[in-house]
Amino acid sequence: MSKQYEAVIGLEVHVELATKTKIFCGCSTEFGGAPNTHTCPVCTGMPGSLPVLNKQVVEYAAAVGLATNCEITQNCKFDRKNYFYPDNPQNYQISQLYLPICRNGKVEIEVEGQKKDVRIHEIHMEEDAGKLVHDPWTGDSLVDFNRSGVPLIEIVSEPDMRSAEEVIAYLEKLRLIIQYLGASDCKLQEGSMRADVNLSVREAGADKFGTRTEMKNLNSFKAISRAIEGEMNRQIDLIEAGEQVVQETRRWDDTKGASYAMRSKEDAQDYRYFPDPDLVPVEISDEWIAKIKEAQPEFRDEKKVRYKEEYDLPDYDIDIITGSKHLADLFEATIALGTEPKEVSNWLMGETMRLVNESNMDIDDVSFTPEHLAKLIEMIAKSEINRKVGKEVFEKIFKEDVDPAAYVEEYGLKSMNDEGALRKTIEEIVENNPKSVEDYKAGKKKAIGFLVGQTMKATQGKADPGIVNKILNEILAQI
């Protein structure tokens, strides 16, 4: 390749909002119900049914807009986007085209120490479609309308990104802002956050855009990175071969590592938008905006600064803990019980992350209570249990959220801090292992390790290794 190319990338990100009910009816949004159990005449598009807007959807959408520096459209409304597909029972999707709720925002991203703004063109509210499942046996498709009418916001960026790294940084930024707001859990794998990538390439430094394609079906950060690399190379190859890039929608197949043009017939797009006459305009007053602003939480960037100042944690720890709203909440709730911040951080960074990785789970699904972690830390600090036993108990807390005090009591894991009893046990071990004592006396200082090990075994690991060492040294000195 003789010329240098750069990618120009814009994103359309759909986020499923964490409301209890759908956007226009009182059906539950809960995941995993049997097909079509969360349906009513409104979300299945029955004639004569009347949609009524869920207030919480407006509040979440405006909150995301304010957190991404958008202007709020104080007089906004809904439009119908017309298309025919079996997942869309009304033959139109209620969305916003002319007056979306948020416009002209931006978020700051950082890639390899370089900061830059990614501008947000708009954020609009809309409803999700139903789910189609293909039955390979009969060749038919099955339609489940449980997702139909689940509220979404679509965040449309300007074409401000130039690499896969920038795209990932932007998505991470959005994900954390939205998670901190509690507006969505933003899980790509489960589809509560979905990104479509608009990408074109041009010679580096050129100011005209090339022809772009839109890539769909990207459900992990890895898939997004791979799809961007793949599409960049495909377009560059076309240009180098003197061919044209066709503006089209392409579907990424992550297992094959390639994308395919969706058939143009399916892709025929002429949505004939018009204002939805069933829904009245939404007016968002200054007072309402002020109220939403006031309810905004402390975001990650602010937390990072405060954790450094207040708790003096290492940057690495701060990055990991604030990288999940759930983990940050757990950290703060445990500290609020009077526990030493560095100690809490150590348990979260060490054992918690180890167990999360081991069981291949999502950090947001960690479910133990802060009270139990605080209690465990206290028990170790008071030498009621030693650190090794503490790790065992923590595993139980992590997996079953056991009360550490009750668990230690039930399984008799309390430290043997009774020096008298411990001394007696050690004396017996010394007596039964004359060879080790001899070795030790002969200068093989390592032999003491074996005796410590025997003591820990005899006490089922409950003795404090420091105290065992001390007593053993005393006894051996006397022989």
Interface mask toward other proteins for 82-121; x: CB under 8 A: -xxxx-----------------------------------
49 touches other proteins (CB under 8 A)? no
Taking CB under 8 A as the criterion, the residue among 140, 298, 401, 474 binding other proteins is: 140
Nearer of residues 249 and 324 to other proteins, judged by Cβ = 249
Using CB under 8 A as the binding rule, the residues of this chain from 379 to 418 that contact other proteins are none
**Smallest gap from residue 92 Cβ to other proteins (A):** 12
Which amino acid is it at 224? Answer: I
Distance CA 376, CA 390 (A): 7
**CA neighbor of 303 nearest in space, from 283, 322, 330, 275:** 322
Q: How far is the CB of 133 from other proteins (least distance, A)?
A: 7
| Segment near other proteins (CB under 8 A); pick from 62-70, 238-246, 270-278, 391-399 | 270-278
Among residues 205, 277, 420, 443, the one that binds other proteins under rule CB under 8 A: 277
Q: Does 275 bind other proteins (CB under 8 A)?
A: yes
* Residue nearer to other proteins on the CB measure, 53 or 353: 53
- Site for other proteins contains 334 (CB under 8 A): no
Q: Cβ of 161: how many Cβ atoms within 10 Å?
A: 27
In this complex, which beta carbon is closest to other proteins, that of residue 91 or of residue 367? 91
Closest approach of other proteins to the CB of residue 67, in Å = 20
Q: How far, in Å, CA of 351 to CA of 391, rounded?
A: 8
Specify the stretch interacting with other proteins by CB under 8 A; choose among 112-120, 156-164, 273-281, 353-361. Answer: 273-281
Asked if residue 184 binds other proteins (CB under 8 A), the reply is no
Among the listed residues 77, 325, 372, 396, the single contact to other proteins using CB under 8 A: 77
Least separation, in Å, of the C-beta of 154 and other proteins?
Answer: 18
Under the binding rule (CB under 8 A), the answer on residue 52 touching other proteins is: yes
The closest alpha carbon to 440, from 402, 403, 406, 478, belongs to 478
Which distant-in-sequence residues (6+ apart) come within 8 Å of 354 by Cβ?
none
Position 39 contacts other proteins (CB under 8 A): yes
Query: Does the footprint of other proteins cover residue 134 (CB under 8 A)?
Result: yes
Question: Which residue, 280 or 381, is less far from other proteins as judged by CB?
Answer: 280
191 touches other proteins (CB under 8 A): no
Residues 229-268 that bind other proteins (CB under 8 A): 265-266, 268
Query: Residues 410-429, buried b or exposed e (16+ Cβ, 10 A)?
Result: eeebbbbbeeeebbebbeeb
Separation of alpha carbons 368 and 356, rounded Å = 12
192 binds other proteins (CB under 8 A): no
d(CA 361, CA 185): 15
Q: Look at residues 127, 132, 126, 154 and name the one whose alpha carbon lies nearest to residue 145.
A: 132
Which tokens sit at 221?
């950060």
Q: Give 87 or 395: the residue with its C-beta nearer to other proteins.
A: 87
Closest approach of other proteins to the CB of residue 242, in Å: 29
- Reduced to 3 states (helix: H, G, I; strand: E, B; else coil), residue 294 is helix
What does DSSP assign to residue 417? -
Closest CA to 225 of 267, 187, 195, 268: 195
Q: Are 118 and 158 in contact (CB under 8 A)?
A: yes
- Which tokens belong to 150? 């689940």
Any residues with CB less than 8 A from the CB of 134 and at least 6 apart, and which? 140, 141, 142
The CA angle 43-192-18, to the nearest 5 degrees, is 70
Binding positions for other proteins, rule: CB under 8 A? 19-21, 25-28, 34-41, 44, 46, 52-56, 58, 77, 83-86, 132-135, 138-145, 265-266, 268, 270, 275, 277, 279-283
